[in-house]
A = this chain, B = another copy of it.
Amino acid sequence: MSLSHGKRTRLWRLLYGSGPRNGSLLVLPLDQGLEHGPTDFFPHPPALDPSYQFRLAEAGGFSAIALGIGLAEKYMADHCGRVPLILKLNGKTNIPSDADATSPLFASVEDAVRLGADAVGYTMYVGSPRQHDEFRQFEKVRQDCERYGMPLVLWSYPRGAAIDAKGGKGSLYAQDYAARVALELGADIVKLHEPDAERASAPKPYNTLDEDAATRSSRVVRSAGRTMVLFSGGEKDDDDDAVLRKVEFYMEQGATGVMFGRNMWLRPFDQAVALTRAVHDIMARYPR
């Protein structure tokens, strides 16, 4: 790979200068308040205050916290220098339908530079009827990342009416395509979801592909090529052991790391910190 000096420096900070410090990544996302509304905070009211996640990111030794410009500007000063920032540049509410989902920019790579971020995050709705708007918007972000030496983390999310008709956003077809799109468009890191077993209405050859969970996950990691894969933690799982098994599973399939939000910050602070430590122990076994 021929990354710019700036990208190398910032990626090094994320991979070796914070978090597990062995080339793996443990990211705490906090964009749910915009993407889903305050709904997500109801199970654990203290999490409504963004300070909670900042404190958790610091105490838990996360590689980075990923959030938008408003939260970064209003809360990060209390923690700056101690937890790297992935600035999410675009987003939307989930109030209108996702049939032709698009995620508009509300911050820029320049904002990320100004705030001292070590990467930017960008959500792409792969396969949406508006993907042409998304691609064009992405081009500018990617070029600004090149200009400023800023790593680019792609939330590569299959979405829209056509994906729904071909098996849904969670299918292997959808996630495998999303992985390749991230690679071809030039993401440094891609956030994916673990592909499910749904295949009935997927295009061939996926509709006849009977693979187990491990094979499916390792397949999307391979499709992402030299773009590093983070798997999403998804909705909260109350069973700590299940969460840890999931982390182990993802790492075994070749993931560079995990992006666990609700599964972390919906737990009481001390439990969340303890769980994070256990995650560290697992990731320590997967140096890269």
Chain A residues in the interface with B (C-beta under 8 A)? 1-3, 31, 33-34, 37-39, 42, 48-50, 67-71, 73-77, 80, 90-93, 95-97, 102-108, 110-111, 114, 126-129, 131-136, 138-139, 142-143, 146, 158, 160-163, 166, 173, 176-177, 179-187, 203-206, 222-223, 225-227
Which residue from B1, B68, B102, B114 sits with its C-beta under 8 Å from A185? B68
A37 CB, min distance to chain B CBs, angstroms: 4
Which residue from B162, B180, B225 sits with its C-beta under 8 Å from A97? B162
Complex contact B139–A180 (CB within 8 A): no
Q: Which of A73, A77, A97, A162 has the most CB of B within 10 A?
A: A73
A114 CB, min distance to chain B CBs, angstroms: 8
Complex contact A142–B69 (CB within 8 A): yes
Complex contact A106–B93 (CB within 8 A): no
A28 CB, min distance to chain B CBs, angstroms: 16
Contacts of A114 in B (CB 8 A): 146
CA distance A69 to B35 in the complex (A): 29
A62 CB, min distance to chain B CBs, angstroms: 19
The 5 closest A-B pairs by CB, nearest first: A95-B127, A104-B135, A70-B186, A104-B132, A2-B77
